[in-house]
Structure 1
Amino acid sequence: MRTKAFNGLEIKLVRTVPVEQLQALYQDAGWWQDDYKITDDFLHRIPENSALFAGAFLEKKLIGMGRALSDLCSDAYIQDVVVLSAHQKRGIGALIVTFLIQELKKRGVDWIGLIGEPGTREFYEKLGFRPMENYIPFKLE
């Protein structure tokens, strides 16, 4: 599925993206440092192995993304929602998340969660997400 947003912006599910554009998104978000070099194979596997990978394209350039990790039948986690800083504050991130939610629901996924970074609570609450009271996120160290 594809959605036309505005001024040539297109959000669509993809399995491949230009690796240099994908790396630029992670670096722009501050998740990877400029000197953090990742192999092309690693970068190819991110969209290929995600249950769903939504790219936001402006004039065929990847300017934003979000992905879902899921079994595509009951549960899903939305992860890595990012828009290049030069294109933020235009509603693109909300379009990406909404697009992923719609695609997951079309597939019957009825539990969708995520872990937001500090400062993103209001953004996700506007999209219908609520903190999970009495639950604690964990990460293996």
Structure 2
Amino acid sequence: MEFELIETIPAKNDFMKLHKTTGWNANGLYTYDQLYSAICNSWFSVSIYHNKNLIGFGRIISDGVYQTFICDVMVHPEYQKQGMGKKIMSALLKKCEEEGIKWIQLSCAKGKQNFYKKLGFVERDLDAPGMSLFL
């Protein structure tokens, strides 16, 4: 199989097609125009293609100094458990290293904690959990 990892935002239709495989927008909280606008405002992103089809994506939101958040790491279900997520994360972490960023945060989908633990991420202490607010 030939895979190509490139540091770019994918075409909108390609992104929408891949994103739909995640089920993350099942409630229609955002339009795909909004989601695409969001990824276009990323500090850094990578896309993986197989035979010119987008099969993986990940991005970083950051101020470029100390607040860094990895998000939207996704791999098409047909390509999961083949090292694609690791390739995406390696590229994202490499960019952080190159820029001297020392603290990297992320949230992950349910059941994906062990994947990130294998990459060195640790869960926050129970007495210092992250928080969120939906408006």
TM over 0.5: yes
- TM-score range (shorter-chain normalised) is 0.7 to 0.9
Match of 1:75 among 67, 70, 75: 67
Match of 2:6 among 12, 18, 23: 12
Match of 1:22 among 15, 21, 37: 15
- Scaled by the length of structure 1, what TM-score is found? 0.84
Query: Structure 2 matches for 1:12-51, cutoff 5 A?
Result: 12-14=6-8, 16-33=9-26, 38-40=31-33, 42-51=34-43
CA RMSD of aligned residues (A): 2.0
- Scaled by the length of structure 2, what TM-score is found? 0.87
1:88 aligns with 2:80: yes
Structure 1 CA distance, aligned partners of 2:120 and 2:49?
24
Q: Sequence identity of aligned pairs in percent? A: 29
- Give, as a single letter, the amino acid of the residue that structure 2 aligns with 1:13: E
Q: CA deviation at 1:37?
A: 7.9
Matched residue SS, 2:64: coil
Query: Structure 2 matches for 1:116-135, cutoff 5 A?
Result: 116-133=108-125, 134-135=127-128
What residue ranges of structure 2 are gaps of 5+ in the alignment? none
